[in-house]
Amino acid sequence: MPAVRKNFERSLAVLSDFCDLVPDVALPDHPYDAAVETIVHAEGAAAFRELIESGRARELTAMADRTGGYVAYATLAIDYIDALRRRTLMIDDFERAFKDYDAIVAPTLVWQAQHGWPQLVVLHDAAAAKNVVVGPFAFYAQQILMMNPLAAPMWIAGLVALVRAPQTRAFRWYGIAYVILSGLYLVLGAKVYYLAPIYPVLFAAGAATIETQLARVRFATVAYPALLLVFGFAIAPEAYPLLPLPTFLRYEHVLDFRSIKMEKHPVGRVPQHFADMLGWNTLVASLARANDALSPSERREAVILTHDYGQASAIDFLGPKLGLPRAISGHNNYFLYGTREASGRVVLAVGYDESTLGREFATVERVGLFRDDYVLPDFNNLVIYKCTHPREPIAAWWPQMRRYI
């Protein structure tokens, strides 16, 4: 985008006043996509080997999950070993390529500034209206719970080692990044799981650190990993959709973590992170029935307006097979996609109340209902409206639809 490039170049001019700039740094030439895909497939298939070999993968909800494991299972050992070799070369080449530089400047911050700092707006508005904001003690207590309480000594030891130990000096920034990010997320009221991607590094550093300590007591070298494994298996169904829904509901009678909430929505039959995976096929089918009831001329102009990006994404992903038009939404990144060339003369809306739609359309007619027993109550029993005879062009009221949260 010309405007982004212009602002980016202006930012570089400011930076040039107090540092030396190298206009472009070329990334080492490697087959990144192929190597990552091979490693993820091979290690994913190993992790879920029992599920795949038993045939129970076919019981998973998502169609891609039912077959994807078998594709990954067919990864050749020689390809996996070659991908690991490639990864080592990539790491070495990256270190050589960037060892002479102190920072990498990219236009991301320019884009954020140009669009009103949407990421900060998201965190601020979510903390005010949606997220369950907790204090420091609860924030770090939930980090321990989220990562398996018995594993806490390992990752805490890893964090201390990364920050202080001389032998981990080369990886010190990982420890510093954890401290900075956790403090920033705490101040901004972010969700506790935003830190999750950094924990594998802490686990790796911690495992190397406590290994020598455990070796002093032979019993501990077996007992601690065994406890981690047993407890990990016990809580795994709460973290991953491993069980069919009826089985999971029975499992909840033993371990129920629904009281640990990331958002202020009322609790449903399953935890929110699972509820957010469910109901999409039902939603799309409900909208397809409403779309099929339109006249041919109305279908040619129709667009679907949704209250949140999850609904919009489900329609864009699952809808084409049922003949649905593309979705628009004012929620987060979907707002930036704009109206997607929709005329706005025929709109199927879901997630909005009739009075809100009535401000923009002269005719608002109820044409359907979305209902699913497993979604969160706030997102259930949503009326589908057909909106026609707009009071003004869609471009005029679209800016009011922006909702970063």
pLDDT of 210 reads: 87
The arithmetic mean of pLDDT across residues 20-24, rounded, is 70
Question: Under DSSP, is residue 76 helix (H, G, I), strand (E, B) or coil?
Answer: coil
The arithmetic mean of pLDDT across residues 96-115, rounded, is 74
pLDDT of 2 reads: 65
pLDDT of 214 reads: 82
Q: Which residues contact 391 (CB under 8 A, 6 or more apart)?
A: 359, 360, 361, 362
Pairing of strands 361-370, 382-390: antiparallel
Q: Which residue has the higher pLDDT, 316 or 267?
A: 316
pLDDT of 363 reads: 95
pLDDT of 62 reads: 66
The arithmetic mean of pLDDT across residues 384-396, rounded, is 94
- Tell me the whole-structure pTM to 2 decimals: 0.68
pLDDT of 99 reads: 80
CA atoms of 361 and 391, how far apart (whole Å): 5
Q: Which residues contact 145 (CB under 8 A, 6 or more apart)?
A: 260
pLDDT of 72 reads: 87
**Would you say residue 356 has pLDDT above 60?**
yes
pLDDT of 307 reads: 94
Burial label for 50, CB within 10 Å (0-12, 13-18, 19+), is exposed
What confidence tens digit (pLDDT) does each residue in 114-164 have?
A: 778 888 888 888 888 887 888 899 889 989 988 889 999 999 999 999 998
CA atoms of 216 and 153, how far apart (whole Å): 17
**Would you say residue 7 has pLDDT above 70?**
no
Give the type of residue at 234: A
From start to end of 236-342, where are the E strands? 302-306, 327-329
pLDDT of 324 reads: 94
The token pair at 279 is 């109901």
Q: Are 346 and 322 in contact (CB under 8 A)?
A: no
The arithmetic mean of pLDDT across residues 14-18, rounded, is 70
What confidence tens digit (pLDDT) does each residue in 174-189 have?
A: 999 999 999 988 888 8
CA atoms of 201 and 325, how far apart (whole Å): 43
Please provide the average confidence, as pLDDT, over all residues in the chain.
87
**Would you say residue 113 has pLDDT above 80?**
no
The arithmetic mean of pLDDT across residues 248-268, rounded, is 81
